[in-house]
Structure formats: C-alpha cells, structure tokens
Chains A and B, each alone.
Chain A
Amino acid sequence: MLGWLLDPWADPINVRALVEVLLLGATGGALGCWIVFYRLAYSAESLAHALLPGLVVAALTGAPLVLGAAAGLLLAAVAVAVAGRTPAIGHDTAVAVVVTALLGLGALLALSPETPARLQELLFGDLLGVAGRDLALAGALAAVVLVALAVLHQALLVVGFDRASAAALGRAPLAVDIALGVLVALAILVAVQGLGNLLVVAVLVAPAAAARQLTRRVPSMMAVAVAIAIGAGVGGLYASFYLDTAAGASIAAALVLAYAAAHAARAAGIARRA
C-alpha cells in the first residue's frame, strides 16, 4: 500500500508536478472564494481562454510561456474593454465575441504548417513538463497572490457584502475590483502552464464552489477550498500515473467530482434536517 502511494514520487518529473499542484491548489482555492463571491467566474474563464494567441506566439518564438501568457492577458483585457464599449451589444456578448476570436486566432497560429504541433499542451496544460525555473516563478506569483489576499481580506469582505455602503466605510469598490482583477490575472499566469488555458478555470472556480456547499463562514470556506483543490490535484496526479491519463484533465475531472460530491453531501444534509 505504502509503495503504491510512494511510487509516483520516485520520479522528479512527478515531484515537480506535485509542487506545482500544491501552488495551484493554495492559490486557486483561496482566490476562488472571491471569484465566486464577486461572480467573476465568467470573466476568469474568458481571460484564460482568450490568452491563447500569447501562449502560441511564445511557444513559436521560444520565449517563456508565462511572458506570452501575460501578453495574451493584456491583449484580451484591452480587447474586452474596447468591445464592451460598443453600444447595442451587451457586455457578455462582447466578451464572448472577443474570446471566440482570440481562441480561434490562437488555434490558427498554432496549426499553421511551419509550426511545431504543441497546441494540445497549450490548451490542456503540461504538468509533467514543468521545469524548476517554472516552479520558482509560479511560487513567487502564488506568494504574491496569497499575501495580497491576506492584506485585502477585510476590504474584499466589506465591498463584496455591501458594495453601495463600502465607500462610506472608507473602502473604494473600484480600487478593490481592480486589485481583485489583477490577482485573478496573476493566478491565471500561475496555473496556465500546468493546466492549459482551457482547464485553468477549473481550479479557480470548482474548489470554492464545492466549499461553499459545505461551510458557513468565509475563513472555513477558504480552508476547505484549498484542501479540495490540493486533494483533487494530488488525486489527479495519482490517476494520471496509474491510469495513464492526461494529468491536467485528470485534475479537472477530480475537481468536478469534488464539486458533485459536495453538492450531494449538502443535499443529503438538508434532507436529513428536514
């Protein structure tokens, strides 16, 4: 049994993947609670999907993926801001148009004949390809996000709970919104290399959504969300090792299972009390 548990970690590739999963779990679980409270899941997903052209260009030119992702995020944010100003189409529609256009552009670039075929790992991530240098960067970004969340905790709570009264309490909603947007962008940068730009949103939304079903206060919700994110991440790595499935997709599947289990547990709890 112990051997079964320890076998995957004999390979440094898997150990690096494990560290990456721990970083992703801590960041995604904690930040995800605010993404859920501020109803930002759609925005987070849109940004993650729309940064594909940046990733592809980085892969083509040999630049660090995180730089490409950052450039892609910036382009996506500007495009969304510009498209959102178009009168007569709603903001959601504008976002959808931008995301589809940029995702398509990224695929076109990636599938042009003279380029190496790395589209799959850009879309679905390459946890097992994470290098030591990537880990250091991911660790630094994760630390920034977690420290910022600790510092901004009360402001995020005040604005999220009662936006209209927040300014009278000395917490400007616009400043808090911008800070949260920047943190979401940083978290996407942390996660995109491991989970790819299609699966990254799973770790940002599913753990918090599951934890919300099981807890009644913000601090406990954050703790449970981090635990679920890390648990699903480690579980996904085991599945990938023993079942020979793709690591990122296995983790995303484990996260969805965790959400379904939390939902069922809550429904059962309510039924028992009734």
Chain B
Amino acid sequence: MRGPAVNATGVACRDLTLAYGARTVLRDVTFAVAPGERAAVLGPNGGGKTTLFRALTRELQPVSGEIAAPPRPGVVPQTERSRLDFPVSALDVALMGSVSRLPWWRRPGRAERERARAALARVGLDAQADETFGGLSGGQRQRVLLARALVQDAPVLLLDEPFSGLDTRSAELVMGLLDELAGEGRAVLVATHDVEQARAWDLVLCLNRTQIAFGPPQQTLTLPVLERTYGGEIVELPGRGGHAVLPPHHHDH
C-alpha cells in the first residue's frame, strides 16, 4: 500500500532508452521533475511523448536506463483512446480513479462516490455526472478523465495533450487546475504541442526520438532547440518576441 499521496518524490529518468520490439523509438532521456513542478513535454508526432508516458506507467519496460517514479501515476490519456461505446456515466469513469486505493475485490462505496462527484465539480462537470461518457463532447470527456486522475489522488500526474478539443474557457479551467495540483506538491507532466503555453511552466523536456533539451523554458525554448525538436517546422511570429510552432496535424501515438 502507498503512503499519503503528496509527499513522494516526483519523477526521474536516467539514460532511458525505449523500444517497441526491435524498433528503438526514444533514446538517451535524462530528466527529473520534482514535486510541485510543472513540466511540458514537447515534440513532434512520433517524437516519443506518448511512449515516454507508457514507460512511466510501467506499461512499457525500458530497454536500458532507469526510471524512478511512484508505481501508480495519475494518467489522463487522449480521449479518443478510451472506449466511447462503453455504457458508463461520467460519474462511473471518475469513480474508476478510486480503485487504485481499494483492494481489488472491493467496489467503490459512498465515500468514493462523494469524492468522484467533487472531482467532477472541480473540472466544471457536476451537471453532467449522470450523462453517458461516450455522448459527451471531446473536451468534456477530456475533463472527465482529468476528474478520474483527481480521484486517484496520485503524487505524479501524466497528461497527454489535455488541451486538445477544449474551448478557451475549459482550457483556462484546466490550466488553473494544473497549477493548483502542482501547488499541492504533485509533479505534473504535460505532453503538448503548444510552445507558448510551455513558456509559462517550470520545465520543458524536448523530445524528437532522443532528448533534445531539458531545463527551464528560458534555456530550452530557443530557436535552435525548437528546430531540432520539430525538424524545421517553425514559423516566427513577428511582434510577439517568440516563436510559434506549426505542429503537423496530430495525433501521434
């Protein structure tokens, strides 16, 4: 059994190499995200973002290198990877977050249902608790999966493009929520395509089949690094003093 969620040690990887069978997809990854830090994971499609997350959840065993992470991170996957044909409500999905702290034969009870409803309220979906998950919009489903991670109450959160499909208001709500979660002492890793958003966070990890850069945004979000990360698909936005990336149409896996 785990101890209290929030005083664990964040995430660290050293010389990590990941492969699917004989095909190496990510090499030489070394980084550390401490409790309370928010890290953006940037990279093109097929750059290794989702693969890194699969290793951090123990779904994929590394070929070499080391991972130090709590055994059960909170995971918010891309919503199109979950089953939309399943006859479950938003509340049912949020409740699934509670099983990580229950023995496997126990079903969630009244206390867990309260927590799940509170988590749905926190992502702004208390009114949708009893609606069928597959019938919600993409952005709403994304927030239900975030509620599931909130219920899980894990010390590390892994979010795979949590802003895709969100309107501006929901995106701001989720951004604020991630700040709160980091403020509670959790390590938060977010795979994203949005370079501008990454500038506001504590750390940036750039991946393109290998680690291109890792560090605070001022040091990592430079034109040479972004060019090596995205392979030259960079356009400069005059007047904003920054670089915007034209990401290819995703989604990567």
Contact = CB atoms under 8 A, between A and B. Distances in A.
Interface string B145-165: 000000010100010000000
Contacts, number: 81
B87 interface: yes
A216 B132 contact: yes
Contacts of B132: 216
Contacts of B104: 152, 154-155, 170-171
B85 to A, nearest CB: 9
Contact of B107 (A154, A165, A170, A171): A154
B83 A157 contact: no
A171 B57 CA distance: 12
B87 A215 contact: yes
A164 interface: yes
Nearest to A33: B87
A169 B86 contact: no
B73 interface: yes
A153 B73 CA distance: 22
A234 to B, nearest CB: 26
Interface string A201-235: 00000000000100111100100000000000000
A161 interface: yes
Contact of A164 (B74, B77, B93, B96): B77
The A interface, classified by DSSP as helix, strand, loop or mixed, is helix
B88 A218 contact: yes
Interface residues of A, number: 24
Nearest to A173: B59
23 contacts: A37-B83, A154-B102, A154-B108, A157-B88, A157-B96, A160-B86, A161-B93, A162-B81, A162-B96, A164-B75, A165-B75, A167-B58, A167-B59, A168-B57, A168-B73, A168-B74, A169-B75, A169-B96, A169-B152, A170-B100, A171-B104, A216-B87, A218-B92
Interface of B: 54, 57-59, 72-75, 77, 81-83, 86-89, 92-93, 96-97, 99-100, 102, 104-108, 132, 152, 154, 158
